[in-house]
Structure 1
Amino acid sequence: MSETSEDLTHAGMVRGLAGAMFRGALIPTVVTVVLGVVVFGVLYGVPGALGALVGGLVIIASSLATLWLMHRTAALEVHFVMAAALGGFMLKMLVLLGVMILLRDVEFLHTNSVAITMIATILVAAAAEGRASKRSKTLNVIPSTAAEPS
């Protein structure tokens, strides 16, 4: 695999990292949602399966939104990327809280199935994305005070 000059820029690294995180989290996240649908379907019937499916899909959408944000902000200065990441995280948590509040009174969804599947999917997605991030080849810059330019 040859690296182009685009791959070695900050934007290229961020986009590559987002792609690696997507590929690394795709299968474990989908398996978690399917497992939740099956388990809660067996335990609570159709409301349990639907609750698990909705909870899992909300988290998958949330994870995809994070990766989309990485792609959209990759070309910005580093401090803007960090600000966007923190702002995106805060907005995502508020949206997830709002979704949980709105879904708790929906009759045809088993509330605990929604919540437990959301929690499990968040944990699996975060762990898989973190693992993929750690395994990806990204450049690290370690500033040194010994070799300052004149």
Structure 2
Amino acid sequence: MTERLIPGDPAPDFTLRNAEGQDVSLKGYRGRSTVVYFYPAASTPGCTKEACDFRDSLAFLQKAGYEVLGISPDPVDKLSRFATAEGLNFPLLSDEDHAVAEAYGAWGEKKNYGRSYQGLIRSTVVVDPEGKVAVAQYNVRATGHVAKLRRDLNLGV
């Protein structure tokens, strides 16, 4: 299991390709609060629910001063199909080698039907405008996560 981040830690910088194949860097979001959420696989039921919740809350989050980045180990072409199919209005980033997920503590041992394996742990890290971790949540639930995050950030529901 990779070490998990805690509030006050510097958020690891990264540059990943988005669903259009363009590079997106966390440094480009300095000066703004940024929700970086990790999800296991595009177009699966839980990940679709979570992404659509972020899509539907994006205007509210942006008005409150937060940007959103979604990261998964999916290749760019799968992210592109997912974003188009669901009308996603925020960047989806491809972390195929899961190096960014590891740096954020979002890669580790998972259990499913009694079987253990290494995989992406559904996680959310909020990065403050100075590039430090403000909130770090691991093993979050897909359903209801965005509403919980809004409450945790004192943004209401």
TM over 0.5: no
Normalised-by-shorter TM-score class: under 0.3
Q: Which has the higher contact order (CA 8 A, sep 6+)?
A: 1
Structure with the higher fraction of residues in helix conformation: 1
Structure with the higher fraction of residues in strand conformation: 2
Who wins on radius of gyration, i.e. which is larger? 1
